[in-house]
Chains A and B, each alone.
Chain A
């Protein structure tokens, strides 16, 4: 193989700028999508643990739909099909009216998809809490909402920190699919550098290292959070 290594490309403008702009978009997509995934996922997950059959059914349906359609297909559905299903003006607005329609489409797609996964974690976390614990919370006079607010949620969110960290890293990695609809995130920028300079190895190496660094930072930070909120005298809750 006759390959001209040129690591210098990585610190040459405009390519260095492209890489960092790509990283910036990747983080922006991932974090914005996480806001949706966390809030919507929590709501859906909680709904699946409530007494009302209708709410449980809505939650279950949401999860089954969003978890089982391949993410790439969802990306195309949101981008190409969804605007066509809207009334004409609304569809046009989604396609052209809003600034950066690709970005928002990617955020909504990743957010709603990951929400279905977050919902399952939240549900599992709540269901792991013993029946006795819920009964004690009700017996003392807490309303159903207070039982969640002061007892079930604070306990379950602590126990699901590790899987939730994985879900966040999942969004971060899956954000590379946004390139298929034209978001110039890290992977897209890397490909662009390859096309312009034929230095694909260097560019992909740089991207890989950046993905790994961000992953480590997130894991380090979440391990700190987990330690900080750990409950004195308890090694694993829900083990009862």
Chain B
């Protein structure tokens, strides 16, 4: 479904992504981890073309992301994305956040969009909050709305960029629960996270990045077993011990 081949990206002299290649099959859940600044966000933003790259190819469902003739807007509507800081649109209500792209991008009618939106809010446990504004919700609630907003487009894959790292500890699980459920239903997911519990529970594979390189790309069992490399070992011991 997602295929990255020898992707490289520079900011001036700085090599943010160094020859990155990986494949995410349909229905697979891939967790991306690694130290701060290693290029995780940049990597997953290459998938939906939010970050341009200079070398290599990224294809989504056979469509080349980097090519100028690709209709990126259309492609993006097929890939949901959830951000660290939620990024709901603050000036419209929760339900309108979920309706907006359904109506303006997919061309659904208001009733259709509202119906789909309410189903998803129900599913993430926030149906009563539909008419509130994002600023009136807790972080965990906002992030669940953001997931619902992505799902409302009936995407073929979902990207998550540290979806729980801006949350207070007591709210992390309410968001992870939604993500676990999604993974178990077979959604194709690429998830940047340091929540190793989530990785152990639902990931098929784990990618470990360091200094712009994909240092490890292996099955969950291999990663949490003892076949991983030294740096991944070090990284894992750091995040598991704090």
Chain A interface (Cβ within 8 Å of chain B)?
Answer: 130, 132-133, 135-143, 146, 150-151, 154-155, 158, 231-234, 237, 240
Overall SS of chain A's interface: helix
Expressed in whole angstroms, the Cα–Cα distance for A143 and B104 within the complex equals 9
B242 at the interface (CB under 8 A from A): no
What would 7 A/B residue contacts be, using CB atoms closer than 8 Å?
A: A132-B85, A138-B76, A139-B81, A140-B153, A141-B74, A141-B153, A233-B90
- The 8 Å CB contact of B81, one of A136, A146, A154, is A136
* Distance between Cα atoms of A38 and B81 in the complex (Å): 35
Flag if B91 contacts A231 (CB, 8 Å): yes
User: Does B68 sit within 8 A of A, measured CB to CB?
Assistant: no
Known pairs A136-B146, A139-B48, A233-B135; list 17 more (Cβ under 8 Å): A133-B87, A136-B81, A140-B81, A141-B73, A141-B76, A141-B78, A142-B73, A142-B101, A142-B105, A143-B73, A146-B105, A154-B91, A232-B132, A232-B136, A233-B133, A234-B91, A237-B90
CA A130 to CA B87, docked complex, whole Å: 9
Q: Mark B126-146, 1 if CB is under 8 A from A, else 0.
A: 000000111111000000001
Residues of chain A lying within 8 A (CB to CB) of residue B80: 139-140
B149 near A140 with CB under 8 A, answer: yes
Interface size class of B (residues with CB under 8 A): 35 or more
For A146, the chain B residues whose CB sits under 8 A away are 104-105
Minimum CB–CB distance from A82 to chain B (whole Å) comes to 41
CA distance A130 to B83 in the complex (A): 13
Q: Which chain B residues lie closer than 8 Å to A132 at the CB level?
A: 83-85, 87
Contact pattern, B 156-173, Cβ under 8 Å of A = 1, otherwise 0: 000000000000000000
Contact A140 B76 (CB under 8 A): yes
Of all chain B residues, the one with the shortest Cβ separation from A229 is B91
State the CA gap A130–B172 with chains docked (Å): 24
Q: Assess the A140–B77 pair: CB atoms within 8 A.
A: yes
Q: Provide the B220-233 mask, 1 if CB < 8 A to any CB of A, else 0.
A: 00000000000000
* Cα-based distance from A132 to B153 in the complex (angstroms): 19
Give chain B's interface residues, CB within 8 Å of chain A: 45, 48, 50, 73-74, 76-81, 83-85, 87-92, 100-101, 104-106, 132-137, 146, 149-150, 153
How close is B135's CB to chain A, nearest CB, in angstroms? 3
Chain A nearest CB, measured from B44 CB (Å): 11
Q: Which residue of B lies closest to A137 (CB)?
A: B89
Cα separation A232 to B91 with both chains bound (whole Å): 8
- Chain B hits for A240, CB < 8 A: 85
With CB as the reference atom, state the residue of chain B lying closest to A158.
B91
Partner of B134 from the list A135, A138, A140, A233 (CB cut-off 8 Å) is A233
Measured in the bound complex, the distance between the Cα atoms of B135 and A155 in whole Å is 13
Q: In the complex, what distance in Å separates the CA atom of A225 from the CA atom of B128?
A: 29
Given known A-B contacts A232-B135, A233-B133, A141 and B87 have beta carbons under 8 A apart: no
Q: A136 to chain B: closest CB distance in Å?
A: 4
Measured between beta carbons, the chain B residues less than 8 angstroms from A130 are 85, 87
Nearest-neighbour CB distance to chain A for B151, whole angstroms, equals: 11
Contact between B87 and A135, CB atoms less than 8 A apart: yes
Distance in angstroms from B21 CB to nearest chain A CB is 23
By CB atoms of chain B within 10 A, which of A139, A150, A154 has the most?
Answer: A139
Q: What is the CA–CA distance of A237 and B81 in the complex, to the nearest angstrom?
A: 22
- The distance in angstroms between the C-alpha atoms of A154 and B146, with both chains bound, is 20
Given contacts A143-B73, A232-B132, A233-B134, whether A136 and B87 have CB atoms under 8 Å apart is yes
What is the distance, in angstroms, from B27's C-beta to the closest C-beta of chain A? 22
